[in-house]
Amino acid sequence: MSAERKKILEILAEGKITAEDAERLLDKIERTAATEASAKESAGEARGGPKKPRHLRILVERPGEDNVNIRLPLAFTRTGARLLAVLPQRVTDRLAEQGVDLGALTALKGEDLDKALEELNIDIEKGDGKKVRIFCE
Residue 32 belongs to what domain range?
1-49
pTM of the complete model: 0.50
Same domain, 43 and 81: no
β-strand partners of 57: 71, 135
Give the integer Cα–Cα distance in Å for 85 and 83. 6
Instruction: Let me know whether 86 and 34 are in one domain.
Output: no
Taking CA atoms, 28 is separated from 45, 46, 93, 118, in Å, by 26, 27, 32, 26
Residues in Cβ contact with 44 at an 8 Å cutoff, skipping those fewer than 6 apart:
50, 51
**Domain shared by 64 and 128, yes or no:** yes
- Taking only the tens place, the pLDDT of each residue in 64-109 is 888 888 887 777 555 444 556 666 777 778 777 877 776 676 677 7
pLDDT tens for each residue of 35-61: 777 666 665 555 555 667 778 788 888
**Residues facing residue 68 across a β-bridge:** 60
- Please report, for residues 36, 39, 76, 100, the alpha-carbon distance to residue 33 in angstroms, rounded to integers and kept in the order given: 5, 10, 26, 27
Tell whether 43 and 92 lie within a shared domain.
no
Strand partners, 56: 72, 136
